[in-house]
C-alpha cells in the first residue's frame, strides 16, 4: 500500500537551503535581519520543496488584533521579495505580525481563515492569480500592482516615458519593447487600449512606448512589440524573436528588469555587445539590475516604500480611520552601463 507523503517541514527547507531552521523561520516571518542572498536562497528552497505555512496555527498564535495577511502567488520573485521586505519592516515598527499566504491557480480554503483572523490583507500582484471572492478576504484590503478598490501603484506611464526619452536622446530610432502581462488588451499597432479593461501596469508602459515613438515621428515596425510575462525566460524568448527580424532593433525597452536581464543574456549569447550593438532598459530597480554585466539601466520603483505604505494604510483602516489612497509613487531613471549611443548605420 502506498504510504502517504509526510508534510514538508521547516527542517526540510533548511536542509535544502543549507541554513538553520531559525533562519528559515526569520524569512517566513519577514524579519529584516537576513542577508538578501540568504533570503533568496530560502525563498527558492520554499518553492522547490513546496513548503506551506499553516495559516491557522500562525493566526491563532499571533492573535487577530495584531495580525495582517499577505497574499501572493510566488515568494521567490524579486519584485515580491522587495515589497515584502518593506511591509515587514513597517509591520515590525507598528508591532503587527505578517502571515504570508500563497494563492495558487485555485482559491485556497485557508483564505477564509485569514478573513476571520486578520485585520487586513495585502495582495501583491493579485491580477496574476484567480480573483478572490469577498468572503475569502478580510474587510480591509490593499493591493500592490493590481486592480482593487485600494491599489498602490507607481507612475508607470511617466517612468516608461523617461526610459524611452533616454533611448531617443541617445539617437536610437529602432526601439523595440517587451511588454508585461495583459498587454494583449492593447492594439500593438495603434497603442489604444480596449475599453472597460482593468488598470494594468503593463498597459500603461506600452502606451507610453507608443506615445514616445509617435511623438518622435517614428513608425513601430511589425514585430517590434513582443509579449512577455515578467519572467527572465519570456524576455529571452522575446529577444530571440526580435533579433531574428530583418531589421532588428538597436534598443529594447523591457517592461521589467527580469525580462531586460534575459534580453542582455540572449544578445551576448548571439555575439552582440551590450550596449555597443544593443542598448537595453528595464523597469523595477531590483537588485538583479546592478548584479548583471553590464549593469542595467532601469526605471526604479520604490517597492520597499510601497510595501511599507500598504501596511500603514491597512493599520489605519483597521483602526477606524478612512485615509486616502496614496497618489501614484514617483519613479526614477537610473542610467547604468546597458545603454549607449545608437550604433552607426
Helix H or strand E segment including 56: helix 55-62
Measured in whole angstroms, how far is the alpha carbon of residue 323 from the centre of its chain?
A: 25
pLDDT, position 192: 45
Least confident piece of the model among 205-214, 275-284, 287-296, 318-327 = 318-327
> Higher model confidence: residue 306 or residue 130?
306
Domains present along the chain, CATH in parentheses = 10-53 (1.10.260.40), 67-153+304-319 (3.40.50.2300), 156-301+330-334 (3.40.50.2300)
Choose the most confident range, by mean pLDDT, from 32-41, 50-59, 100-109, 159-168.
159-168
Checking if the pLDDT of 187 tops 50, the result is no
Q: What is the model's pLDDT at position 61? A: 53
**195 pLDDT exceeds 50?**
no
Q: Which three cell numbers stand for residue 345?
A: 548605420
Check pLDDT > 60 for residue 310: yes
- Per-residue pLDDT, averaged over 196-200, amounts to 46
Would you state the pLDDT for residue 155? 94
Residue 217's closest CA among 175, 170, 160?
Answer: 175
- Is pLDDT of 174 > 80? yes
Segment 13-25 shows an average pLDDT of 88
Q: What is the pLDDT of residues 128-144, one digit of tens each?
A: 554 555 566 788 889 88
Where is average pLDDT lowest: 122-131, 166-175, 223-232? 122-131
- State the pLDDT confidence band at 250, using cuts at 50, 70 and 90: very high
pLDDT at 263 exceeding the cut of 80: yes
Contacts of the segment 91-97: beta carbons below 8 A, 24+ positions apart: 91/30, 91/311, 92/31, 92/32, 94/311, 94/312, 94/315, 95/66, 96/66, 96/67, 96/68, 96/311, 96/315, 97/29, 97/58, 97/62, 97/66, 97/67, 97/68
The predicted pLDDT at position 233 comes to: 94
pLDDT, mean of residues 62-84: 79
- Look at residue 2 in the predicted model and tell me its pLDDT: 42
Distance CA 345, CA 343 (A): 6
Average of pLDDT values for 29-47? 83
Look at 72-81, 241-250, 296-305, 323-332 and tell me which has the smallest mean pLDDT: 72-81
Query: To the nearest whole number, what is the mean pLDDT of the chain?
Result: 84
What is the pLDDT, as a whole number, of residue 337?
97
Does the pLDDT value for residue 190 go beyond 60? no
Residue ranges of E strands in the chain: 67-72, 97-102, 121-124, 141-144, 151-152, 175-179, 225-227, 251-254, 279-284, 297-300, 332-334
Give the Å distances, CA to CA, from 163 to 30, 128, 255.
Answer: 32, 25, 10
Provide φ and ψ at 298, rounded to 5°.
Answer: -150, 160
Q: Determine what percent of the chain is predicted with pLDDT higher than 70.
A: 80
Nearest to 316 by CA among 157, 94, 116, 16: 94
The pLDDT tens digits of the residues spanning 315-342 come to 999 888 888 888 899 999 999 999 999 9
**Hey, how many other C-beta atoms are within 10 angstroms of the C-beta on 32?**
11
pLDDT category, 95, cuts 50, 70, 90? confident
Amino acid at each position: 500500500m502506498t504510504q502517504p507523503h509526510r508534510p514538508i517541514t521547516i527542517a526540510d527547507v533548511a536542509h535544502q537551503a543549507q541554513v538553520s531552521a531559525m533562519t528559515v523561520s526569520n524569512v517566513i516571518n519577514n524579519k529584516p535581519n537576513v542577508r538578501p542572498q540568504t533570503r533568496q536562497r530560502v525563498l527558492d528552497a520554499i518553492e522547490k520543496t513546496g513548503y506551506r505555512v499553516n495559516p491557522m496555527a500562525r493566526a491563532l498564535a499571533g492573535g487577530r488584533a495584531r495580525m495582517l495577511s499577505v497574499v501572493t502567488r510566488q515568494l521567490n520573485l524579486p519584485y515580491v521579495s522587495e515589497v515584502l521586505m518593506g511591509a515587514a519592516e513597517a509591520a515590525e515598527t507598528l508591532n503587527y505580525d505578517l502571515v504570508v499566504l500563497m494563492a495558487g491557480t485555485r482559491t485556497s480554503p485557508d483564505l477564509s481563515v485569514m478573513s476571520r483572523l486578520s485585520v487586513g490583507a495585502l495582495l501583491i500582484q493579485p491580477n496574476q492569480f484567480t480573483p478572490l471572492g469577498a468572503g475569502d478576504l478580510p474587510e480591509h484590503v490593499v493591493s500592490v500592482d493590481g486592480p482593487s478598490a485600494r491599489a498602490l501603484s507607481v507612475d508607470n506611464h511617466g517612468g516608461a516615458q523617461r526610459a524611452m526619452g533616454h533611448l531617443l536622446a541617445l539617437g536610437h530610432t529602432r526601439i523595440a519593447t517587451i511588454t508585461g502581462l495583459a498587454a494583449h488588451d492593447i492594439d500593438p499597432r495603434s497603442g489604444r487600449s480596449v475599453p472597460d479593461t482593468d488598470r494594468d501596469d503593463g498597459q500603461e508602459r506600452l502606451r507610453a512606448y507608443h506615445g514616445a515613438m509617435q511623438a518622435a515621428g517614428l513608425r513601430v515596425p511589425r514585430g517590434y512589440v513582443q509579449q512577455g510575462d515578467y519572467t527572465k525566460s519570456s524576455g529571452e524568448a522575446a529577444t530571440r524573436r526580435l533579433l531574428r527580424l530583418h531589421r532588428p532593433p538597436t534598443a529594447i525597452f523591457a517592461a521589467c528588469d527580469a525580462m531586460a536581464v534575459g534580453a542582455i543574456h540572449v544578445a551576448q549569447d548571439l555575439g552582440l555587445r551590450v550596449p555597443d550593438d544593443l542598448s537595453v532598459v528595464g523597469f523595477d530597480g531590483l537588485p538583479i539590475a546592478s548584479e548583471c554585466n553590464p549593469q542595467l539601466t532601469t526605471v526604479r520603483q520604490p517597492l520597499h516604500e510601497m510595501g511599507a505604505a500598504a501596511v500603514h494604510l491597512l493599520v489605519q483602516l483597521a483602526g477606524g480611520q478612512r485615509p486616502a489612497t496614496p497618489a501614484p509613487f514617483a519613479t526614477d531613471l537610473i542610467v547604468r552601463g546597458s545603454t549607449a549611443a545608437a550604433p552607426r548605420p
